[in-house]
Amino acid sequence: EPEVTQTPSHQVTQMGQEVILRCVPISNHLYFYWYRQILGQKVEFLVSFYNNEISEKSEIFDDQFSVERPDGSNFTLKIRSTKLEDSAMYFCAVQRTGPYNEQFFGPGTRLTVL
């Protein structure tokens, strides 16, 4: 059974629309992450989340992005007003202990902004 699942697997949206990407960890994890990969580029860190708050965010993670874990289970990434350049594969990752230890990745959500 995978450590983490993500929904949807593929999301197509119009520029300017809001999207919410969901991550559901299977077992108890302490650390949560979002990464993204724009086609042909490196996997990039967006944000890390621990103890119900953001522990670090990259310069990509601007005011258009937010994360929350409202019910103690789902971990969501919201993009308020999508731009064309937000088109990417978005990965959630979880970690039981940390930092520096193994991260378990979800299968990703492919976001296409038209």
Partner 1 sequence: ILNVEQSPQSLHVQEGDSTNFTCSFPSSNFYALHWYRWETAKSPEALFVMTLNGDEKKKGRISATLNTKEGYSYLYIKGSQPEDSATYLCAHPNQAGTALIFGKGTTLSVSS
How near is the Cβ of 45 to partner 1 at its closest, in Å? 4
Contact status, residue 29 vs residue 52, Cβ threshold 8 Å: no
Q: Using the rule CB under 8 A, which residue among 13, 20, 45, 60 binds partner 1?
A: 45
Nearest to partner 1 of 14, 62 (CB atom): 62
State how far the Cα of 34 lies from the Cα of 25, in Å rounded to an integer. 13
The DSSP bridge partners found for residue 23 are: 6, 75
Q: Using the rule CB under 8 A, which residue among 23, 48, 75, 109 binds partner 1?
A: 48
By the rule CB under 8 A, 65 interacts with partner 1: no
By the rule CB under 8 A, 58 interacts with partner 1: yes
State how far the Cα of 60 lies from the Cα of 4, in Å rounded to an integer. 23
How near is the Cβ of 78 to partner 1 at its closest, in Å? 20
What are the backbone dihedrals phi and psi of residue 86, each rounded to the nearest 5 degrees, phi first? -80, -10
Q: Identify residue 9 by its one-letter amino acid code.
A: S
- For binding to partner 1 (CB under 8 A), which residues are involved? 2, 4, 33, 35, 41-45, 48, 50, 55-56, 58, 91, 93, 98-108
